[in-house]
Each structure stands twice: as structure tokens, then as C-alpha cells.
Chains A and B, each alone.
Chain A
């Protein structure tokens, strides 16, 4: 009984962390069609922003939930103005440019923070469930992911800004004809996407040892989740994160963590073979 509860929490946690690491990419790649290979580095910078802010005496939750997204969002804004905006609609070129950016960010982070592992300890203590101890921070990650999905849904569905953003992504010429500047809207959307990546990096920072190359560990999973999710932003994100999270955790508990990772990749291959348009290309069509 205790064990099944612990396993349930671990599975929810796996799904939640996939949602978290993919949300920023879902906006930047899913909505804007910019292949952001620097996504992992945006997360890495979110982690460093948190650690630096905590080092300066800021409360750890403020650092994670406010400072890191703003800092990384602003970095994203600069990058968008300098590089990305010249490349909209040129899928392959954005890939090359953002790959270069990722190398630049790794270099800068190495220069500033050095190439050693840093980190902060988790702000929430572990607790016991029957005979088992679990990491209290897992609950925090689950809560943050749920809040994130609800917030994304509310903004895109419920607000005028969300409507305009969605409209611009579909037909920027029509949005322009109606008097909205696509340039501005792309800029703001990229800002939001970067801020989400920063948030993810920040929230995961207390669980890992952070090095400037940490971003590489997330990028593959983020792309797999977003691509398998398909055209619908939120339904795609949640459905693919759930499928991959469950598959990898089932195999992790049944066999070993390595097999869990392998199972995730095999599941992705099978899923994309059967549904080349992603999960939401077949199910939940027309949903958000």
C-alpha cells in the first residue's frame, strides 16, 4: 500500500518534470516553429540565476519562481531581437543559429561560474510514508507543473493577448491586416517561452548538480515530448508527457533506470511511426 503510493508519486513526478522541461520549448517550437537548440541552455541559465540570487540572500522560492524566469526571459528577449527575428520561417537556419547560441551560453557560463558543479539544497524536507521516505520537493514540482498548465491554458484561452498570439502564429499576415504588429507579438511570445524555460531550470536546480553543460541532458527529452505531442500546444504537452512519463517509470521500477530511459526512446519511435503528426494530430483534434 505504502509502496504503491510512493510509486504513484514517483510517476506523477516523472510526468510533471517532463511537462516542466518541455513547456518553454512547446511555446517556442510548437507555436513559433523556431527549433530552439539552446533550450537546454536557457534552463541552465535559469538554474544559475536561482543559485546566484540565493547566494545574494534572496528567498529561494522568490528566486526560483520570479527572478529566474524574468532573467532568462530578458536574455531570450535580447536573443530574439539580435538573432531570431531575422530567421522566422527559416526552420533549418534557426536550428544552426540556436545551436551556436547554445555554445556561446555554455562558454559564457563557464567564464562566469567556472566549470565546477554548483547547487543549492532542496528547501522542502523529505517525509515518511509508512516505511518509505520520499522527497518532499517532488510534490512542489508536481504542484508547479499543474499550476503552469492551468496558467498557460488560462492565458491562451481566456485572455485577449492569448487569442492574438494564437491568431498571429496561424496567420501573421491576417493579424497584421487587423492592425497587430506580428513583430511585437513574436517578440513577446519568445519572451514567454524563454521565461518558461528559465522557470523549469530554476525549479529543477535544487535536485541536480549544475554545470554549464547541464542543458544537454534536457534537450532531447524536451524535443521528443513536444514533437510527439503534436500540433495542439497544451493537450499535446500533457498527453505526451503523461505517456512518456508512465512508460519510463514503469520500466524503471520493473527493471532498471537505464531500461526506463531506453523504453522512453522506443516509445517515442513507435508513437511517431504510428502517429507522424503527434498524439494531437490524431486525438484531441482542434483542442488547445
Chain B
């Protein structure tokens, strides 16, 4: 048989189309959930438990009979802590796998790398991480806590325990800068004064001179939104200088990736934090969650704030699908915008229709022997920072990350 080039190309194209068909047909029987997380590389301490939480949530949904009578199938990609892989896998998830929803992204940079792809391909996107706030995009739901939610409760508590003069030590990138502004605002609102603010690049690990400077300003309290392994050195050097019992510390970041388990009790005890989740939360929902995790993975030590946010994000999405009776994007968004809520391991989580962020319970905690003891629970704190700039009800076409001016 003779074959010219044109016929060959035509044939190949036809074959290619045919090869793609079964996947689309198969997908009709299940619901596809895309997940995109760093489960290897330098961010795997965050990403691995998030991946486990995602799989646990999906398993639970499927064991209870699935969604709309269909099983949920996971398409997960490991981005290896490499931002370039985010855009690549986002294309794969949206154009090839054609998933119904994507959960994932850890750093703000990774979220921004994939957000526009999700928006363009009309794929619903859940970002389940504590972050600096301000993203206003109808296609996106952010279910983690934002700085104002934490700072609003943490600062008055810490100031009441110590005094009105506050020194801020923050990480030098958008999260730290924005959080520092919120700290300043709430310190002043509560009748206090910020005596100094210092910013540190992420690789600074020597805080000797800083500790001397802090003693010069002699504050009553230090609030430290420091980030990452290098910055952990501050807490260690602070304790080594014998300062820990002289000036109290509060932080909005310490412990998110279970860092408090690295510090010895002498270094960590008494540091004040405010989060959505603590392993030490004594609620029925948290106990059952930990039991389920134990049964699935054998060890609960890895569970952290971000993992629980991921779990809650998936449960919120599932609730939205049930309410909408469909996985179609606009129907699910409308269902979620009715102000849906679920009871997660960290308490009640409600979608705020105006911002697509979450209203969550915030717990004030203190480190105690490498655990986080809950001191006080403040129920249902709204994402007031994002609410100040974002209104998707009146402006549904918004597609910006606002830098919140205070």
C-alpha cells in the first residue's frame, strides 16, 4: 500500500484523536479532583501532610458513597518545590486531564503561577493555605486564615499579658510586610505603640545584633512574623541570650509547619500564637479527625495547620457540589456563595460570599512542652483584611491581588 505524506498526517491525527477519546468517556463516570502540591523538595514539610490530608478527605467522601452518586478520582502532581513546574502541571490538569476542580498551591508565588490558567480555562480553584490576603478572583476560594484574622485576636491578648510597647520583627517579603502593617494597626487600635519594626531577608540566621537592638528599644512585647528554617534561629538565639523570660514573644507564623516541635521546651514555652488549628484542640471533630488520620497513616505528628486547611477546603468544595447538584463551575460557585459552612477539625468554616475567603474560628494558643495549648477560642472571625478591598458581589470580574492599605 502506498501512502503519501498528506494521508499519513491525516491518519496520525485521526489516531491521536481516537486515543484521547476513551479518557473523556471514562471521566464521565467519575468526578476528577486535581491536586498540585510540593510533596518533595524544600517545601515538602508543608506539602506532604497536605497531600495526605487531601487523600484522606477524598477517601472519606468516596467511602460515604461519593458525590452525586459518582466516585471522586484524584489527579495529583508533585511540583517538587519548583515554581516552573506549577505552570506546566496547571496546563496539564486543565487542558489534558480536564479536572472538575483544582486544590493546591503552597507559596503565594505558586498560587500566582497557576491562578490565571485556572481562570482562563474556567477551572474552579481552591487555595487552602494561610497567606497574606487580598486575592480577589471569583474563580478562587481561599480557605486558610489571613493576617488580620490572626493579628486581630493575637495582639490584644499578647498586649494584655505584657504591655503597650511592641517591637516587630518580620520576614522581608510581601507576607511579612503586610502582616507587620496589620500588627501596627492593631497595636495602635488597642492603645499601644510600635517602638520599632525590623525586616529580615529569608536567609538571615544571625540575630545577635538584633537581640542587642531589641534590648535598646526595651519593648514590653515582641511580635515576630518570621518565616522558615533560618529565622527559627531567632527563637533559639533569643533563648540562649536568656531573654525569653524577660520579654514575651508572639508570632503569626511559628508552628504552621510544626516548627514548635523543633524548639526545646526551654526555648519555646510561652510563645503566643493564633491559628485556626492545633493538634491539642479538644473537640469531638478534632478527635475523630486524628483517629481517621491515625488509621490511614499510623502517625498523627505530621498534621499541621495547612493540612487541616486542605482537608476543610475539600470538604467545603464537596458541600458546594452537593448543594449545586452538579460539578459545573458556575453552579458550584453560586452554591458556595450562599455562605456554605462545614464543621471541620478546627471548627466551623464558612465561605464569605463577598471575598471567597473563609470565616473561621481562631484559637489563641501558647507553646507548652512542644505542643500548642489552646487558651481561648474566638469563634467565626471574618477575613476583614480582604473584605476591605474586595467585593465579588458587586464586581465579579475582579482579578487582582490587592496590597491592602491600612
Contact = CB atoms under 8 A, between A and B. Distances in A.
Interface stretch (B108-116, B206-214, B384-392): B206-214
B229 A17 contact: no
A249 B209 contact: yes
B75 interface: no
A164 B213 CA distance: 48
B343 to A, nearest CB: 30
A117 B44 CA distance: 12
Interface in A102-144: 114-119, 121-122, 124-128, 131-138
Interface stretch (B29-37, B90-98, B126-134, B261-269): B261-269
Contacts of A126: 240-243
Chain A's interface: helix, strand, loop or mixed, by majority? Answer: mixed
Nearest to A210: B229
Most buried by B among A124, A134, A249: A134
Interface residues of B, number: 43
Contacts of B233: 207-209
A14 B207 CA distance: 11
A213 B231 CA distance: 14
B209 A253 contact: yes
Contact of A257 (B41, B44, B210): B210
B45 A116 contact: yes
B242 A133 contact: yes
Most buried by A among B172, B199, B204, B206: B206
Contacts of A125: 240, 242
Interface string A247-276: 001001100111011000000000000000
Contact of B241 (A116, A133, A208, A211): A133
B45 A121 contact: no
Interface string A7-20: 10010011001000
A121 B262 contact: no
Interface in B216-268: 216, 229-233, 236-237, 239-243, 246, 257-259, 262-264, 266-267
A206 interface: yes
Nearest to B211: A135
B230 to A, nearest CB: 6
A119 B216 contact: no
Contacts of B231: 209
B396 interface: no
Contact of A206 (B42, B203, B230, B240): B240
A36 B42 CA distance: 23
A281 interface: no
Interface string B33-52: 00000000110110000000
B242 to A, nearest CB: 3
Nearest to B48: A115
B242 A257 contact: no
Contact of A209 (B205, B216, B246): B205
Nearest to A6: B212
Nearest to B198: A256
A216 B203 CA distance: 9
A152 to B, nearest CB: 23
Given A121-B266, A133-B215, A209-B262, A258 B200 contact: yes
Most buried by A among B200, B207, B236, B257: B236
B210 A117 contact: no
Nearest to B43: A115
B209 A209 contact: no
A3 interface: yes
A214 B230 CA distance: 8
B201 interface: yes
B44 A115 contact: yes
Contact of B204 (A17, A127, A131, A261): A261
B172 A258 contact: yes
Given A116-B262, A257-B209, A209 B229 contact: yes
A56 interface: no
B267 A211 contact: no
Contacts of B203: 216-217
Contact of B236 (A13, A14, A119): A119
A142 to B, nearest CB: 12
B152 to A, nearest CB: 28
Contacts of B236: 119, 121-122, 206-209
A135 B240 contact: yes
Contact of A132 (B199, B215, B240): B215
Most buried by A among B45, B204, B208, B231: B208
B208 A14 contact: yes
B209 A121 contact: no
Nearest to A2: B215
A85 B263 CA distance: 41
Nearest first, the 4 closest Cβ-Cβ pairs linking A and B are A126-B242, A209-B232, A122-B240, A126-B241
Given A115-B41, A208-B205, A213-B229, 7 more contacts: A10-B208, A209-B205, A210-B229, A253-B209, A257-B209, A258-B172, A261-B201
13 contacts: A6-B215, A132-B212, A135-B237, A135-B240, A135-B241, A207-B206, A208-B229, A214-B229, A217-B203, A253-B213, A257-B210, A258-B172, A261-B201
Interface of B: 41-42, 44-45, 172, 198-201, 203-213, 215-216, 229-233, 236-237, 239-243, 246, 257-259, 262-264, 266-267
